[in-house]
A and B are shown apart, each in its own frame.
Chain A
Amino acid sequence: MSFLEFSNITKTYPGVKALSDVSFRVEKGAVHGLMGENGAGKSTLIKILSGDQHADAGEISIDGKVQAYASTRNAFDNGVIVIHQELQLVPELTVAENLSLGRFPASGGVIARRRMLDDVGAKLKSAGIDIDMRRKVKTLSIGERQMVEIAKAVMLDARVIALDEPTSSLSSRESEILFALIDRLRGEGKVIIYVSHRLDEVFRLCDSLTVLRDGKLAAHHTSLKDVTRDQVVAEMVGREISDIWGFRPRKTGEVRLKVDGLSGARLRTPASFEARAGEIVGFFGLIGAGRSELMRLVFGADPRSGGTIAVDGKTIAAASPHEAIRAGIVLCSEDRKHDGIIQGRSIEENINISSRRHHTRFGVLNRASEIATAETFIKKLKVRTPSRRQDIVNLSGGNQQKVILGRWLSEQGIRVLIVDEPTRGIDVGAKSEIYELLYQLAEGGMAIVVVSSELPEVMGICDRILVMCGGRISAELTRGQFAEKAILAAALPDKKTPDAIAS
């Protein structure tokens, strides 16, 4: 019997039809995958499920009862819990306090600490989650925080748990723990909606799968037994993609970027590396290995305590992003929401924010050229939007990423492009587009540095891979030498079990 049922869900945003007439059912005790490209409507569907947004038409029913909630609170009370990519925990409170928030065991307003710890401890234990509940959430890793979020769902006796890209910032080991937890919840008869871009995870975890494309139901599989990956990719993209990397060899030239002994407050060990014109250099490592920290130093985003940076043989100060950009270095940060997009401003302004200085006279904007620049890059990067005037927050993650790339590509004289997790949370179709763009830029003579936590990605697109581990560059391999095991071994701090992680 179907437990969770979506019937004819339709939702329109200003200028975009986010969902049209989407219907499907999920059985009890099932992990149901939800896939689709960016902007396909996955997030909107989840928002409607959580009561955060209202459907214009259609209804959701759980256990045969039509849900009519006015707010997320109602959804909550009906046992629907959504765990978002951005976690909703209070950093200054402990794990136990976070898990009891809103329903502290108390007498006369005074929290009964003992009872709280006992309650939470028992629940964590029964869910098989191993976290010290006295620790403050701000001291936990992202993976651990995710566990706490899931524990929250368990504590609330959720019937439906939706996970939105849960592994996007987890290490492989953390993902394993998460999968084990999901298996356990399935065994308890919960309905799990699993939104992900990662095919292997979906095939590994899910019992059934819904694919959305352009707000419509593209496919619904009640079982994944006879479904192939290529088939799902084709359903998502609407066409076949044979080789998503599409790597092609290039000629490399002179050294464009030379980093020598660079260190800073968050990167103690001095790091050195080079990138040549036309070369794509990958930085692989676990979360917290120091890759992003190093790139932020190169870009002048964090103050450096030692070392030099040279572009085309010329040493540059790069004491701020402002100066780095003028020296020809740009960085697309990994945290788009915090470090990339300017919320509340249009796509046009988000693209022009840096490059507009080339077209201004005495600080006065050149409107015509700004419009032209925006239109050019919206077209060139295939940003899906009704208008350049659209507020950037209304775009999906992948389209936001394209706008940020447009910001840098519209700059003049860029010699070094650093992209940190360029395809995080981005679907297959857009991924190929971004890789193709990187090849074209490299062919145009840029040095490109790609930071990624996805091993297949760095192996697929890079000419050379530098591995970081514990704040140090621990290995360097050129394309001929690429081997999964060697790279993982260099990335792991204890160098014990690369096989366990690789699997």
Chain B
Amino acid sequence: MTDQLKKLLLGEQGLVVIFIVAFALVSLLVPNFLTDRNMLGLLQSVVTVGIVACTMMFCLAARDFDLSVGSIVAFAGMVAVMASNYTASIPLGLIAAIACGAVVGWVNGVVIAKFRINALITTLATMQIVRGFALISSDGRAVGINSPDFYQLALSKLLGIPTPVWVLAVLFAIFGFVLNSTVFGKNTLAIGGNPEASRLAGVNVDRTRIWIFTLQGVVCGIAGILLASRITSGQPNAAVGLELSVISACVLGGVSLAGGRATMSGVIVGVLIMGIAENAMNLLNIPAFYQYIVRGVILLLAVLLDNLRSSALGRR
């Protein structure tokens, strides 16, 4: 019995099993958890983290790191609001936001891949630079949205499910496919496994890394737009600390910080576990200060479990 349990928990799908158990427990024990309203609220609360986690997964899988995501999300939100206010065209605003995200990501990628600066340092720098841009652009103030149509991005529903959740689902599907079924995805994992061997095997490592960071920027742009729409303004101080939540979710989902190992299903579960924990604590009226501790403990436990699993599989 215990052997079977061990096998189940430490197997490839161990995290999914734990997630299902945790979900069932929370549903039973926490009042008002398993209601339509709360479920939608939960999903909406993980949209930002979930969207950014899609590409953070690639970043980590390639043995890189991106700390600048929070700043890019805030900056892209500012750009989306200000550009659509200025041009009176929402599509132009959205394009501008995504383009800005892409440019920041591309710069990250080029500096890291071509100039061989450590990703941690590079993105630590751009994190601050881009936050500076966001603050300067509005002189540190929040910028209100002029057109009510912009709110509709976050408020509109399709089949009873809010648009941002659809966007999240679509991105999960796209990036899951990209990771498993495209050359780009496989090359990303190979680079994380052994960058030099990948280069000598003919993988264009620099180009792949630049693409990873550029995509990360694009995705942060999308997250920034949806966030701005939800909070009905561009906030230069939005999404502070987002990078840590996103990396936590990825690690929870079994993405190896040493590179070479990542699954989309794992990341989805990681994102949901974080969301459920927060949601349940809110429903139980646990004060926000304690929530930090709980989140930290969950992360540590997840990493320990992952470690056990790796040694059970006979790696390292």
Contacts and interface: CB of A to CB of B under 8 A. Distances in A.
Are A and B bound to each other?
Answer: yes
Interface in B179-220: 181-184, 186-187, 189-190, 192-194, 196-204
Contacts of B37: none
Nearest to B191: A342
B183 A365 contact: yes
B186 A341 contact: no
A51 to B, nearest CB: 16
A480 to B, nearest CB: 35
Given A321-B202, A339-B200, A365 B182 contact: yes
A342 B260 contact: yes
A72 to B, nearest CB: 14
B197 A340 contact: yes
A478 interface: no
Interface in A343-357: 343-345, 349, 352-354, 356-357
Nearest to B203: A353
Contact of A343 (B184, B193, B313): B193
Which of B193, B260, B313 counts the most A-chain CB atoms under 10 A from its CB? B193
Contacts of B261: 344
B190 A349 contact: yes
Question: Which of B187, B190, B197, B203 has the most chain A CB within a 10 Å cutoff?
Answer: B197
Interface in B294-316: 313-315
Interface in A400-414: 407
Nearest to A354: B202
B313 A345 contact: no
Given A325-B202, A354-B202, A360-B183, A13 B314 contact: yes
Given A356-B186, A365-B181, A391-B315, A299 B198 contact: no
Given A14-B313, A341-B197, A343-B193, A353 B186 contact: yes
Contacts of A380: none
B10 to A, nearest CB: 12
Interface residues of A, number: 35
A352 B186 CA distance: 10
Contacts of B202: 321-322, 324-326, 353-354
- Scoring B181, B182, B194, B261 by chain A CB atoms within 10 A of each residue's CB, the highest score goes to B194
Given A343-B194, A353-B190, A320 B183 contact: no
Contact of A321 (B181, B200, B260, B315): B200
A248 to B, nearest CB: 31
A349 B196 CA distance: 16
Contacts of B203: 322, 353-354
Contacts of A326: 202
A362 to B, nearest CB: 9
Nearest to B178: A363
Given A14-B313, A349-B190, A342 B198 contact: yes
B193 A322 contact: no
A483 interface: no
B258 to A, nearest CB: 8
Interface in B22-45: none
A364 interface: yes
Interface string B147-175: 00000000000000000000000000000
A301 B186 contact: no
A293 B105 CA distance: 35
A360 B315 CA distance: 30
A252 interface: no
Nearest to B207: A322
A333 interface: yes
Nearest to A344: B260
Given A339-B200, A349-B190, A357 B183 contact: yes
A14 B311 CA distance: 12
Given A342-B260, A364-B181, A349 B204 contact: no
A338 B181 contact: no
A393 interface: yes
Contacts of A325: 202
Contacts of B187: 353
Interface string B221-262: 000000000000000000000000000000000001000110
Contacts of A352: 186
A345 B183 contact: no
Given A344-B315, A363-B182, A391-B315, A353 B198 contact: yes
A394 interface: yes
Contacts of B193: 342-345
Contacts of B186: 349, 352-353, 356, 365
A343 B314 contact: no
B201 A393 contact: no
B186 to A, nearest CB: 6
Interface of A: 13-14, 299, 301, 320-322, 324-326, 331, 333, 338-345, 349, 352-354, 356-357, 360, 363-365, 367, 391, 393-394, 407
